[in-house]
């Protein structure tokens, strides 16, 4: 599904260079559920942005479903991102003047999908996530947990193979956080959607099948034998 080999990323500001990722390597199989933890500034979000084709990398190789993404033109990367990758953000990133239905429909409009098929897809995820009764509500009329469910529905409506979640419960209370994780687990098990989730909560991270850590731009796999690091 996803294979990164010795990925490096450096940010430059004037004469200052900051290494965000250093020779990070990772393989994620289709249908896996991976949690990623690490302190602020460790490179977690940079990794997600590269995995989601939102940012480039300086060194290494990244294969997504066997496709070398660095060889793709910008238009082809955008198409691959829209068709195969879903994103869930901590801040929900809903459009405030669009109702629930229209927010979920947005990625399908980018695909230029016919209106009838768009409606069918949106109605399907509304039922799946228990949002049908809220479909004409604006984001401001929803609780935090409901807004995050809308964000998840928007990520799922395009039927992505890979779901990237950046602190998906960061703005939620304990009960809503557990409900979101229950939902992600169900999506992973029932739809075989591959999920990579960044979280600061060890209890939530533990519910993933694989629990990884990022430290100083390098990947650490606790399952590796003593002293062995998954860097490449």
Q: What is the pLDDT of residues 20-60, one digit of tens each?
A: 999 999 999 999 999 999 888 889 989 999 999 999 999 99
Structure confidence at residue 115 (pLDDT):
94
The CATH architecture assigned to 29-57+72-220 reads 3-Layer(aba) Sandwich (3.40)
In terms of pTM, does the model score above 0.85?
yes
Cα Rg, the chain, nearest whole Å: 18
Three-state secondary-structure class, residue 206: coil
Calpha distance 105→137 (Å, rounded)? 14
What are the structure tokens assigned to 135, written together?
Answer: 């479909």
User: Over 80: is that where the pLDDT of 228 sits?
Assistant: no
Three-state secondary-structure class, residue 3: strand
Greater model confidence, 201 or 34: 34
- Domains of the chain, by residue range, sit at 29-57+72-220
Of 191, 196, 178, 183, which Cα lies nearest the Cα of 44? 196
Task: Please give the distance of CA 65 from its chain centroid, rounded to a whole number.
Answer: 16
Report residue 117's pLDDT band, with 50, 70 and 90 as the boundaries: very high
């Amino acid at each position: 599904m996803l294979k990164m080999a010795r990925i490096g990323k450096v940010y430059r500001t004037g004469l200052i260079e900051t290494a965000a990722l250093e020779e990070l390597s990772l393989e994620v199989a289709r249908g896996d559920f991976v949690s990623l933890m690490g302190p602020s500034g460790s490179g977690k979000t940079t990794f997600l942005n590269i995995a989601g084709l939102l940012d480039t990398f300086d060194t290494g190789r990244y294969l997504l479903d066997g496709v070398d993404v660095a060889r793709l033109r910008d238009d082809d990367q955008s198409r691959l991102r829209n068709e195969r990758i879903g994103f869930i953000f901590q801040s929900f990133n809903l459009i405030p003047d669009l109702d629930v239905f229209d927010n979920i429909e947005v990625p399908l409009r980018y695909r230029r999908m016919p209106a009838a098929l768009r409606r069918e897809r949106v109605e399907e995820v509304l039922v799946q996530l228990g949002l049908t009764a809220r479909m004409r509500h604006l984001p401001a009329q929803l609780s935090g947990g409901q807004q995050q469910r809308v964000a998840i529905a928007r990520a799922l409506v395009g039927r992505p193979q890979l779901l990237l979640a950046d602190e998906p419960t960061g703005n939620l209370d304990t009960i809503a956080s557990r409900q979101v994780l229950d939902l992600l687990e169900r999506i992973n098990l029932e739809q075989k959607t591959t999920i990579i989730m960044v979280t600061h909560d060890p209890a939530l991270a533990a519910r993933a099948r694989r629990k990884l850590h990022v430290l100083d731009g390098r990947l650490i796999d606790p399952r590796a034998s003593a002293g062995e690091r998954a860097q490449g």
